[in-house]
């Protein structure tokens, strides 16, 4: 399901002394089946943009197209529910949305709201709890008895249980320990590939964007300034610095290495694996010169 934003603008509290323009002239296209990363410094409009993707905010200017639903400022509430069913959002610190008596019930909340029969919702929930690596027996516990990391996984399961076509992730690993972080990000990537789920990741981590995404959107001061494959976006450190962003650490290291070794700048290495291959190649080639 393609998502297209055309000349989208959003102003908070329009017409009051507190009015604030958060987005203007946003033109982006998120292709069906892509893994899109949205990057930008704090206050660049990433979070506002993300709330437009399932109509939690309606644009005050322009149009948002999700599949064949068109959302403008006039769109009424009823039409929005079908969009919300197709687009699942994992918000920052999603564990704050837990409320049910048991983990199982909480995960079933979304599917039941969208009219999925109880037995099926329960089966889905059980399956997802396993998939997210929660220990046996968690389903019957109260979500408030779990550890922070486990709560996070339960909340993520609650969004995945709606089986959305598009999954929007807002800093899904903020505050998790490094191994948990990697595990969850790998899981999202697997789901993206196995279920052909269009994935949109809003993140501060250039490393995550470089590793997982195949399409990157750069936001700056409330509008999109660059859109393209990660090789393009992360190749040029000078350009990213203008938007107060940095290249991923692998690329920073690579550039440092190239400068030291007197090599020309090659295509950016987006993951540790690529960087290792690149270095091994360079060592083999230049081995004789030493």
Partner 1 sequence: MMEKMVFGRYIPGDSFVHRLDPRTKLIFVFIFIAAVFLANSTASYALLLGFTLFAIIVSKVRIGFLIGGLKPVIFLIAFTFLLHIFFTKQGDLLFEFGFIKVYEEGLRQGIYISVRFLVLVLMTSLLTLTTSPISITDGLEVLLGPLKKIRFPVHELALMMSISLRFIPTLMDETDKILKAQLARGSDISSGTMKERVKAVVPLLVPLFVSAFKRAEDLAVAMEVRGYRGGEGRTRYRQLKWDWRDTTALLILLLLIAGLWLLRR
CB of 214 to partner 1, least distance (A): 25
Nearer residue to partner 1 within complex by CB, 157 or 206: 157
CB of 96 to partner 1, least distance (A): 6
Nearer residue to partner 1 within complex by CB, 61 or 227: 61
CB of 114 to partner 1, least distance (A): 5
The span from the CA of 23 to the CA of 62, in Å, is 11
Name the helix (H) or strand (E) containing 37: strand 35-39
DSSP 39-68: E--TTSSHHHHHHHTTTSS--SEEEEEETT
Nearer residue to partner 1 within complex by CB, 18 or 137: 18
**172: which 2 tokens?**
């899904």
**234: which 2 tokens?**
């992360």
Q: Are the CB atoms for 39 and 239 separated by under 8 Å?
A: no
Burial class (CB in 10 A: 0-12, 13-18, 19+), 115: exposed
The three-point CA angle 75-77-82 to 5° equals 95
CB of 94 to partner 1, least distance (A): 7
Nearer residue to partner 1 within complex by CB, 55 or 251: 55
Nearer residue to partner 1 within complex by CB, 166 or 185: 166
In this structure, the number of other CB atoms found within 10 A of the CB of residue 3 comes to 25
CB of 58 to partner 1, least distance (A): 11
Bridging pattern class, strands 198-202 and 35-39:
parallel
Nearer residue to partner 1 within complex by CB, 109 or 243: 109
The separation between the first and the last C-alpha atoms of the chain, rounded to the nearest angstrom, is: 54
The span from the CA of 240 to the CA of 126, in Å, is 43
Reported as half-sphere exposure (CB side, CA atoms, 13 A), residue 175 has a value of: 14
Contact residues: partner 1, CB under 8 A: 12-13, 16-18, 51, 54, 56, 77-78, 81, 84-85, 88-89, 91, 94, 96-100, 109-110, 113-114, 144, 158-159, 162
Nearer residue to partner 1 within complex by CB, 141 or 182: 141
The span from the CA of 95 to the CA of 175, in Å, is 11
CB of 109 to partner 1, least distance (A): 6
**94: which 2 tokens?**
């999603």
Nearer residue to partner 1 within complex by CB, 84 or 255: 84
| Beta-bridge mates of residue 70 | 65
CB of 235 to partner 1, least distance (A): 35
CB of 100 to partner 1, least distance (A): 8
């Amino acid at each position: 399901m393609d998502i297209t934003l055309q000349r989208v603008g959003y102003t908070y509290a329009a017409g009051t002394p507190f009015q604030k323009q958060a987005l203007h002239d946003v033109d982006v296209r998120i292709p069906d089946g892509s893994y899109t990363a949205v990057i930008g410094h704090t206050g660049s409009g990433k979070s506002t943009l993300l709330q437009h993707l399932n109509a939690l905010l309606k644009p005050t200017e322009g149009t948002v197209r999700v599949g064949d639903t068109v959302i403008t400022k006039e769109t009424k509430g009823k039409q929005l529910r079908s969009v919300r069913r197709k687009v699942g959002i994992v918000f920052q610190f999603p564990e704050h949305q837990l409320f049910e008596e048991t983990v199982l019930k909480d995960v079933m909340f979304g599917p039941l709201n969208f009219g999925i029969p109880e037995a099926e919702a329960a089966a889905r929930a059980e399956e997802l709890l396993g998939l997210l690596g929660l220990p046996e027996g968690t389903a019957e516990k109260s979500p408030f008895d779990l550890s922070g990391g486990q709560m996070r996984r339960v909340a993520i399961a609650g969004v995945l249980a709606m089986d959305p076509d598009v999954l929007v992730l807002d800093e899904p690993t903020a505050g998790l320990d490094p191994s948990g972080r990697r595990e969850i990000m790998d899981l999202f990537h697997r789901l993206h590939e196995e279920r052909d789920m269009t994935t949109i990741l809003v993140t501060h981590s250039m490393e995550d964007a470089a590793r997982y995404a195949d399409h990157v959107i750069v936001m700056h001061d409330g509008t999109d300034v660059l859109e393209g494959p990660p090789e393009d976006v992360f190749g040029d450190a000078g350009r990213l610095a203008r938007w107060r962003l940095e290249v991923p650490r692998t690329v920073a290291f690579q550039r440092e290495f190239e400068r030291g070794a007197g090599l020309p700048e090659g295509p950016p290495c987006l993951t540790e694996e690529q960087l290792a291959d690149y270095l091994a190649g360079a060592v083999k080639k230049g081995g004789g010169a030493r």
